[in-house]
Chains A and B, each alone.
Chain A
Amino acid sequence: MDAFKTLTGTAIPFGQRNVDTDVIIPAEYLKSISRSGLGRGAFKTIRFNADGSENPEAIFNQPQYKGAPILIAGDNFGCGSSREHAAWALADLGVKAIIAPSYSDIFSGNAFKNGLLAVVLPQDAVDRLLEVATEAEITIDLENQVVTTPFQDRFSFEIDPFRKHCLMNGLDEIGITLQMGDNIAAYEATQKATKPWLSGKAGIERQG
């Protein structure tokens, strides 16, 4: 995973609230068995007309926002299904960070696990950034947890220290957890003694 430190770039002033995962990536794209290439379906209902042609009005299709690394969204971004394809589609579209007042829990988890930074800022800060994004680039400094603009705006944000550590170092979460293999095995031993009904037929024995 790529390490995320500081990002300066164009932000898409999208701003819609309650954008659900069906909007981010429609169900028809869930049929892939691989992670890449989903950007073509991202925001399909917004980017394309019913006949499949590109909707030039859509903000994502305006030349200055194509391939922009930052997306500014409204409240409750990524609500709806648990599909991780939403995060893969955004990443495939070129988005590296999102700024919104809130996210669904599942979406923010999925974003993080794919190296996407989901910045939470209050609505008034987001409103200001939506304005700025139409004329200038925005900077997200993860180390100092601050979003800045060329107009002296400065918005601090909170982030879970563990997530910050993983994002900044491009760490794989599974690898970190596997280092705690002994603790997991100890938990399983206790579980087997106190709640034997939880093991399936093969149980822990099979794992040796």
Chain B
Amino acid sequence: MSNPRTLYEKIWDDHVVERRDDGTCLIYIDRHIIHEVTTPQAFEGLRATGRKLRRPDMTLAVPDHNVPTTTRIKDGKLLPIDDPESATQVATLKANCAAFGVEHIEMTAPEQGIVHVVGPEQGFTLPGTTVVCGDSHTATHGAFGALAFGIGTSEVEHVFATQTLLLKQSKPMEVRVEGSLGFSVAPKDVALAIIGEIGAAGGTGFVIEYTGSTMRDMSIEGRMTVCNMAIEGGARSGLVAPDDKTLAYFMGRPRAPKGAEWEMAAAYWRTLPSDPGATYARSVFIDATKIAPLVTWGTSPEDVAPITGVVPSPADFAEPSKQAAVEKALAYMGLTPGQRLEDVEVQDIFIGSCTNSRIEDLRAAAAVLKGRKLASNIRQALVVPGSGLVKLMAEDEGLDRIFIEAGFEWREPGCSACLGMNPDKVPSGERCASTSNRNFVGRQGPGARTHLVSPAMAAAAAVTGRLTDVRQLIG
């Protein structure tokens, strides 16, 4: 018998093309998802060196980062993208895909959406595969037991040319989450609670495997939210072992295996979960029963507190460098120590991003908004579905009506205000309750102040005009 191995180690071992003396491995990449922002320079590199794209069939392109989320087709005609640079990037992606034989999902196709929503939805992402994309939230695909991580443009070019990457194996880390989540506590709160516990750099050098009853009981969408934010805890990848729910998710997806190949694949996927007795280099335990709806108050995702709490003071932190960081963060965020988080007024609401733009997220927000209206101080409230297919499903369920009646704008899919590369930005000095994954300085636009929350919490803030404990609105 071989040694007991973790899920991560199994996937790793199955993808080693060559192991060097120094421990660096040439790792085969099964799935490469590309978008318009991090690829032009990689295609430029291929051209400059006269290299070919090795596996176009393992590459899928979809524009998402800077596509407009306003109406795209009017009177049967595609509207041009206003921003000339965005238009150039989107057009460049399309032209490059045509030149190198890569399948490209058009901006107007119903399948278009955020890379990390589209990949699994299309059955392109599969359990046990290595998945890369030039976006750090590629960790999202780990929810299916895929080893997925973000890469930079040089690596995109390396995968284009060789379908491999040179990597050092990370150490496996276990984050075990046990217990039932309280009323209105969402997977997003689990994700934030974990980062609050381990810190924004706590997972650096590790690949996290999320285990425990909370993760097993969690929906596929919820697992995606948790894995999505692995990178915010410093880990390049987060994983959840594939189980019956995972298999049920892929059954019948357009690019998933069919017939005999499905049986073969499913049998393989069932061998992937960590062996009993496999060891992790680090283990962290999270008691899910103690997690409350959370909100960030600072400019790092580790700056997190229960909504019932108050803004901390720099003095609450032991480390001098963290004290200084907190002081700066509070100045940027316009918050004072001791201020009740529930008293913090917001002007903008963003429901979207690859963290929380799937159907379950939209349902959770709509459940809070049903029969309610935006507070008068809300200047802009956006719902941006993760893909065209999510949007259609939501419209079938009538969720769009609920959002629109509440006063939200129902938009076309894309990254939108998650990073403000398209016109969807939070104006300087304004405060946004956002379901995205980053509250960095300027992330949602220069001077924008971001509070990361779950979809239900974003909806609650929309109704009251301030950060709000969703449990007081519904129950």
Structural contact, A177 and B421, CB atoms closer than 8 A: no
Q: How far is the CB of B32 from chain A (nearest CB, A)?
A: 11
Assembled-state Cα–Cα distance A27/B56 (Å) = 28
Structural contact, B38 and A84, CB atoms closer than 8 A: yes
A32 adjacent to chain B (CB < 8 Å): yes
Number of A residues contacting the other chain (C-beta, 8 Å)? 61
Task: Identify which of A62-70, A73-81, A136-144 touches chain B.
Answer: A73-81
Residues of A within 8 A of B164 (CB): 177, 184
Structural contact, B151 and A106, CB atoms closer than 8 A: yes
* Of A83, A196, A201, most B-chain CB atoms within 10 Å: A83
B174 adjacent to chain A (CB < 8 Å): no
Task: Identify which of B106-114, B154-162, B211-219, B308-316 touches chain A.
Answer: B154-162
A-B contact count (CB 8 A): 199
Contact of A82 among B18, B30, B83, B136 (CB under 8 A): B136
Number of B residues contacting the other chain (C-beta, 8 Å)? 79
Structural contact, B200 and A76, CB atoms closer than 8 A: yes
Structural contact, A105 and B205, CB atoms closer than 8 A: yes
B135 adjacent to chain A (CB < 8 Å): yes
B residues 8-51 in Cβ contact with A at 8 Å: 17-18, 20, 22, 24, 26, 28, 30, 37-38, 40-41, 44-45, 49, 51
B57 adjacent to chain A (CB < 8 Å): yes
Q: How far is the CB of A117 from chain B (nearest CB, A)?
A: 15
Q: How far is the CB of B98 from chain A (nearest CB, A)?
A: 15
Assembled-state Cα–Cα distance A83/B462 (Å) = 32
B387 adjacent to chain A (CB < 8 Å): no
Residues of B within 8 A of A196 (CB): 261, 264
Q: How far is the CB of A88 from chain B (nearest CB, A)?
A: 8
- Considering only CB atoms, which chain A residue lies closest to B42 in the complex? A84
Q: How far is the CB of A193 from chain B (nearest CB, A)?
A: 11
Contacts A76-B200, A113-B155 given; does A207 touch B54 at CB 8 Å? yes
A residues 155-208 in Cβ contact with B at 8 Å: 160-162, 173-174, 177-178, 180-181, 183-184, 187-188, 191, 195-204, 206-207
Structural contact, B321 and A75, CB atoms closer than 8 A: yes
Structural contact, B158 and A104, CB atoms closer than 8 A: no
Structural contact, A174 and B40, CB atoms closer than 8 A: no
Q: How far is the CB of A100 from chain B (nearest CB, A)?
A: 12
- Considering only CB atoms, which chain A residue lies closest to B262 in the complex? A197
A87 adjacent to chain B (CB < 8 Å): yes
Residues of A within 8 A of B440 (CB): 20, 22-23, 80
B419 adjacent to chain A (CB < 8 Å): yes
Assembled-state Cα–Cα distance A179/B325 (Å) = 46
Structural contact, B201 and A76, CB atoms closer than 8 A: yes
Residues of A within 8 A of B162 (CB): 174, 177-178, 181, 184
- Considering only CB atoms, which chain A residue lies closest to B165 in the complex? A177
Residues of A within 8 A of B442 (CB): 22-23, 26-27, 45
Structural contact, B161 and A174, CB atoms closer than 8 A: yes
A128 adjacent to chain B (CB < 8 Å): no
Q: How far is the CB of A195 from chain B (nearest CB, A)?
A: 7
Assembled-state Cα–Cα distance A28/B444 (Å) = 11
- Considering only CB atoms, which chain B residue lies closest to A201 in the complex? B57
- Considering only CB atoms, which chain B residue lies closest to A195 in the complex? B268
Contacts A22-B442, A110-B154, A197-B126 given; does A83 touch B201 at CB 8 Å? no
Assembled-state Cα–Cα distance A174/B51 (Å) = 10
Structural contact, A45 and B441, CB atoms closer than 8 A: yes
Assembled-state Cα–Cα distance A50/B427 (Å) = 13
Residues of B within 8 A of A17 (CB): 321, 325
B435 adjacent to chain A (CB < 8 Å): no
Assembled-state Cα–Cα distance A33/B89 (Å) = 7
Q: How far is the CB of B421 from chain A (nearest CB, A)?
A: 5
Structural contact, A106 and B55, CB atoms closer than 8 A: no
Contacts A183-B26, A187-B17 given; does A106 touch B152 at CB 8 Å? yes
Assembled-state Cα–Cα distance A181/B18 (Å) = 11
Q: How far is the CB of B254 from chain A (nearest CB, A)?
A: 11
Q: How far is the CB of A4 from chain B (nearest CB, A)?
A: 16
Contacts A50-B428, A113-B154 given; does A106 touch B136 at CB 8 Å? yes
A154 adjacent to chain B (CB < 8 Å): no
Contact of A187 among B28, B58, B419 (CB under 8 A): B28
A109 adjacent to chain B (CB < 8 Å): yes
Structural contact, A173 and B428, CB atoms closer than 8 A: no
Residues of A within 8 A of B325 (CB): 17-18
The 10 lowest CB-CB distance pairs between A and B, nearest first, are: A200-B57, A197-B257, A84-B152, A33-B40, A113-B154, A82-B150, A31-B85, A110-B152, A82-B136, A84-B153
Could you give 21 example pairs across A and B, Cβ below 8 Å? A18-B200, A30-B38, A31-B37, A31-B89, A33-B41, A75-B321, A82-B138, A84-B134, A84-B153, A106-B150, A109-B151, A174-B45, A174-B51, A177-B26, A177-B166, A184-B17, A184-B164, A196-B261, A197-B262, A200-B255, A202-B56
Question: 18 new A-B pairs (CB below 8 Å) besides A33-B44, A81-B136, A202-B56?
Answer: A20-B441, A35-B44, A50-B428, A50-B447, A76-B234, A82-B150, A83-B37, A104-B201, A105-B234, A106-B151, A109-B155, A177-B26, A177-B162, A178-B161, A188-B163, A195-B265, A198-B58, A200-B58
